[in-house]
Structure 1
Amino acid sequence: MFDITSGVGVNLLTVHRFFQILVLAVLAGAATWLLIYLHKKARYERRRLELALVGNKLGVWNWSFKKGFAINDRRYAEMLGYGTDGAAGLFRLASDHVHPEDRPRMRADLDRYLADASEHVETEFRLRDASGNWRWVLARGVTVSRDRRGRPTLVIGITVDITEQKRVQQRLWELSYTDPVTGLHNRAYFDEKLKELDREDALPLSVIMGDLNSLKYTNDAYGHYTGDSLLVSAANIIRDSCRSTDIVTRWGGDEFAILLPNTTQSEALLICRRIRAACAKAGLRPVELSVSLGVATRDSMNQPLEEVVKSAEDWMYRHKVQERRGTQKRWAGLAKRSANLK
């Protein structure tokens, strides 16, 4: 006798298995489509990232606990002008590509980052490009993995070429510390250097204060253009009479200030003699070039720097009074001449 229930059971089992296979096929298809989509999207995003890196002169690097600092990115080589084949090897901290003066700071920044367990590290340094020039770069990295003690084991970062930014910063710095008339450093630069030289290894530290004589009379009689020309002539003579280690500045108005580290008072006085001799040799332009000078020296850290500068300034004014007495008659005639000018 034929069992109807058994046939129905077989059919139901077949249908159930068919739907299982169908669902698995749909899921497999969906998973395949999703993988293809994600792959295309990842490739698209990667391409966008590559274009952004090339356009912005960026290079990718990594640091690992086992291998240290390494660069395998061709964009890093392209950024430095080495071409696409220049990244075949690894650039390491001890390589010649990093400026020798910057290597200790890079290591210190990395050691501090590892010790502080910070999430990111940032440092600036110079790299040698294919032309042999040094280019400033900014490196930033983030922690990707840590060990059980929380110490970074892998750091990935980017390096940005900031050479042009550094040039702009340097130019702005020069403008802020440069006198526009004479080209010498200004009072702000003098004050900054005075703070830096407030240390024992700069002793003896001498200060020369100078005052350009008759600048006001020159401006009144011949105009400010001639007065500026007189200032520039005095600045050139003072700079040429000093050494490369001396810091020559325009203090303000008609005054100059010179810082001479590791210079005794007698050595500073020799420089003053050179300045006076050069001024005398310059002759009339159309006014006689003359600078009153005063010197003071710091031999001990117990002497406040402000008092040393003031002492040099006081001696300068004493000499200025003496020199002015010898030129009063000449300037009286010049004043009379300027009064007759139309």
Structure 2
Amino acid sequence: MSEELKYKTIADYYYDWETWEDQNGILQYVSPSCKRISGYEAEEFLNNPKLFESIVLEEDIEIWNSHRHEISNRDKTFENQFRIHHKKGYIVWVEHVCKAVVDDKGQNLGYRANNRDITLYKNSIETIIKNEVQFERIIDSLPFSLSIITLDGTVLYINPKGLDYFEAKEEEIIGKKTAVIHWVEPERRLIWIEQIKSNGIVTDFEMHIRTAFGKELWAMGSGLIIEYQGQTCVLSTQHDITERKEMEESLRQSEEQYKLLFENAAESIVVIQDGKVALSNDMSTLLTGYSAEELGEIHFMNYIHPDDTETVVSNHMKRLDNEEVDRIYKYRIIKKSGEIRWVEMNSLKISWKGRPATFNLLSDITERKLAEDALRVSEEKYRLLFENAVEAILVIQNAEIMMCNPMTSKLTGYSLQELTKMKFLDFVWEGHNEKVFSFHKKRLAGMKGDTKQQFKIVKKNGEVRWIESDGIKIDWNGEEAGLYFAMDITDRKATEDKVLYLSYYDQLTGLYNRRFYEEELERLDTKRNLPLTIVMADVNGLKLTNDAFGHGAGDKLLKVVADTMKEELRREDVLARIGGDEFILLLPKTDSTSAELLVERIREKIAKTMVEKITVSVSFGFDTKTQENEDMEKIFTQAEDYMYRRKLLESSSMKSEMITLITRGLYERDKNEQSHSERVAELCIKTAEALKLESHHIGEIGLLGMLHDIGKIGINQNIIKSNTIISDK
């Protein structure tokens, strides 16, 4: 960890609110603890330089302004106290200490400030001044320990909570120098007293306390110099932070082990102590074939190849004896199955549970060793494999292409001679340079991580292609290098993009589909998007249009509706086709009034459009979620019910209009059709009357006769009037 990162980490976890201004008065750093005191995030202060001044109480603004004028004196530390408005509305007392910071050359680097919440002590002091009786009543009921102690440690007063906290009785503690006894580390008390003497007040001082029964606790203490019963005393408080300290210690230990052992879980990690594996990860089991329990029971030499045992044991013992030895070396292991594998081990000495041990990272390099051996054993075989490989193969050293095969030339468009004079980033698309170089550095560092990466290259002719690459670290002429394998995946990426598009879009209308709508509904169903409105839309007469004019007309009808609705939407609105003739709209931050206006605009626009001389008709229904606890399924159902009620009112007139248009078109195409239809209708009515049917049934049968040839509207006239036999086609 860099020194800068260490100090930043310390600052970030500092209990007080720390700030740093540069020499121009511009905030460069605000510690996260500002939120505990002010309620505002650090980013809010950094983004708004006037925020601090704006939250200072108007009555205290002169204190703030005078302090701002004085801080130019860089040899002096300035302290003042003022009040601020907490983000939640209440008042917080702040003790503000700042001082100019200079480097070793006397150059002004800016100003460092410390802000501490002293509200409790201010309020306590004010309460004491106002009413001593009330003070005692309040102090006695405080939920934390409060005591008055002389500078030599004699306890003059302690409240009931303090007696409980120290597990003591009043007669055992009042008038006695028990304050010294209760400190686990008495020297810490001396530091505390000196700070109080110097500053008059100390807050947020961590105390390690021992109760009368020997129980050890942690407290966040404070001290304030006061005059009490004619003596200079310390008004002391203790807030129990034992649970927090225990949690911090537990987290610290856990984080230390985690960072030490499992940050690179892609490698085998083992801690060896007393010749056995004290700790191992899952990759160790995968590498050796032994379970963690088995590894802990057998000596680590049992799975080292006999020819390498002497070297491994010697290095291990030298490391434990702090002798100089290579940290990284290679040897063979024998798996539980008997298989021999090559490993590369990075080892160092550590203290494990208070005793010496070694921490070891093992990487399986068998394939790499085989590749290296194969290169040494048969240059010709390698060359055949290399030159005829279906993948591009490159050796990269110091960012330069040391060697590449013909497929690399085909992939990039550059000749082999050109490539060996280039750096490998020369043909990488500019937007992917950083990630490709980072991948290369990780490989050279021996890190595996993701074995493949995808990036774009620019060929010599300017064509951009997608590449998938894999790489390993190798030894090339005595120096480390990267061996990379690459292939063109442009067509595959295009197919993947198409599949992704089809999975979220309706092919006919180009709108989102039901799957996308359901995911967006889940994403948008949050408090910040309220009111959230669902609009349901159903196209009237789609089936009748398909039956009368063919599915092409029906498709055209759906596209017209989709395009018309899309024109009226905002960028954040979501429009999807969720069924054959059903559409749905998700309108975040839209109340029912706004939704109704939108629906009316769409309805009016749709009413002005026609398909096959038929006015387009769509029924709408909507409902709005206004409360966070409302169920979106219920909102959906109510919108759908509303839509279907509208459809009942609008659908009949739509169908009637369509039938009239269809029959009119049929009669216009063939003048005999109308007289023929009327004769059939007349015969139907007479038949119904002969059967003595009810009058409304007679009317329906007559209408049926009138419309019996309505299907002809979708058939070509040449076919109807043809005197020849029609083929199946």
Q: Place the TM-score, normalised by the shorter chain, in its bin.
A: 0.5 to 0.7
2:633 paired residue number: 306
User: How large is the RMSD of aligned CA atoms in angstroms?
Assistant: 4.3
2:646 paired residue number: 319
Task: Verify: 1:88 aligned to 2:421, yes or no.
Answer: yes
CA contact (8 A) 1:99 1:134 kept: no
What is the DSSP-based 3-state SS (H/G/I as helix, E as strand, rest coil) of the residue aligned with 1:315? helix
- How far 1:71 moved relative to its partner? 5.0
- How far 1:209 moved relative to its partner? 2.0
Question: After alignment, is 272-281 or 128-137 more displaced?
Answer: 128-137
Q: Deviations over 1:106-140 (max 9, x none)?
A: 9599879979x648722223334445554222122
2:536 paired residue number: 209
The amino acid of 1:289's aligned partner reads: V
What is the DSSP-based 3-state SS (H/G/I as helix, E as strand, rest coil) of the residue aligned with 2:613? coil
1:79 paired residue number: 411
Task: Verify: 1:255 aligned to 2:588, yes or no.
Answer: no
Gaps of 5+ in 1: 1-37, 146-152
1:60 paired residue number: 394
Quick one: distance in 2 between partners of 1:292 and 1:105?
54
CA contact (8 A) 1:207 1:260 kept: yes
- How far 1:258 moved relative to its partner? 3.0
CA contact (8 A) 1:59 1:159 kept: yes
The amino acid of 2:412's aligned partner reads: L
CA contact (8 A) 1:58 1:160 kept: yes
1:295 paired residue number: 622
Name the CA shift for 1:284/1:158 in 2 (closer, same or farther; >3 Å).
Answer: closer
Name the CA shift for 1:316/1:128 in 2 (closer, same or farther; >3 Å).
Answer: farther
Correspondences of 1:175-324 after superposition (within 5 Å):
175-198=502-525, 205-243=532-570, 245-261=572-588, 268-283=595-610, 285-298=612-625, 302-324=629-651
2:468 paired residue number: 138
CA contact (8 A) 2:443 2:482 kept: no
How many aligned positions are there? 288
Name the CA shift for 1:60/1:254 in 2 (closer, same or farther; >3 Å).
Answer: same
What is the DSSP-based 3-state SS (H/G/I as helix, E as strand, rest coil) of the residue aligned with 1:234? helix
Give the alignment's TM-score, normalised by structure 2.
0.33
Q: Deviations over 1:175-232 (max 9, x none)?
A: 4444344343332332344344456676665433211012223234444343233223
Instruction: From the CA coordinates, give the structure whose radius of gyration is larger.
Output: 2
Q: 1:340 aligns with which of 709, 714, 719?
A: 709
- How far 1:101 moved relative to its partner? 7.4
- How far 1:159 moved relative to its partner? 2.2
Name the CA shift for 1:253/1:120 in 2 (closer, same or farther; >3 Å).
Answer: closer
Q: 2:498 aligns with which of 171, 175, 180?
A: 171
Quick one: distance in 1 between partners of 2:647 and 2:509?
22
Quick one: distance in 2 between partners of 1:50 and 1:100?
30
Name the CA shift for 1:284/1:122 in 2 (closer, same or farther; >3 Å).
Answer: closer
- How far 1:296 moved relative to its partner? 3.8
Name the CA shift for 1:90/1:237 in 2 (closer, same or farther; >3 Å).
Answer: same
Q: Deviations over 1:232-281 (max 9, x none)?
A: 32223223333455443221111012334565655544543342232122
2:457 paired residue number: 127
2:30 paired residue number: none
Percent identity of paired positions between Structure 1 and Structure 2: 30
More helix by share: 1
Task: Verify: 1:97 aligned to 2:466, yes or no.
Answer: no
Quick one: distance in 1 between partners of 2:445 and 2:627?
42
What is the DSSP-based 3-state SS (H/G/I as helix, E as strand, rest coil) of the residue aligned with 2:394? strand
Quick one: distance in 1 between partners of 2:638 and 2:441?
47
1:31 paired residue number: none
Gaps of 5+ in 2: 1-374, 664-702, 713-729
The amino acid of 2:494's aligned partner reads: R
CA contact (8 A) 2:619 2:650 kept: yes
CA contact (8 A) 2:527 2:628 kept: yes
1:156 paired residue number: 483
Name the CA shift for 1:101/1:43 in 2 (closer, same or farther; >3 Å).
Answer: closer
Quick one: distance in 2 between partners of 1:100 and 1:209?
42
2:388 paired residue number: 51
The amino acid of 2:515's aligned partner reads: A
Quick one: distance in 1 between partners of 2:563 and 2:530?
27
What is the DSSP-based 3-state SS (H/G/I as helix, E as strand, rest coil) of the residue aligned with 1:184? coil
Moved over 6 A (4+): 108-115
What is the DSSP-based 3-state SS (H/G/I as helix, E as strand, rest coil) of the residue aligned with 1:339? coil
CA contact (8 A) 2:396 2:403 kept: no
Quick one: distance in 2 between partners of 1:210 and 1:139?
48
Name the CA shift for 1:307/1:221 in 2 (closer, same or farther; >3 Å).
Answer: same
Name the CA shift for 1:156/1:57 in 2 (closer, same or farther; >3 Å).
Answer: closer
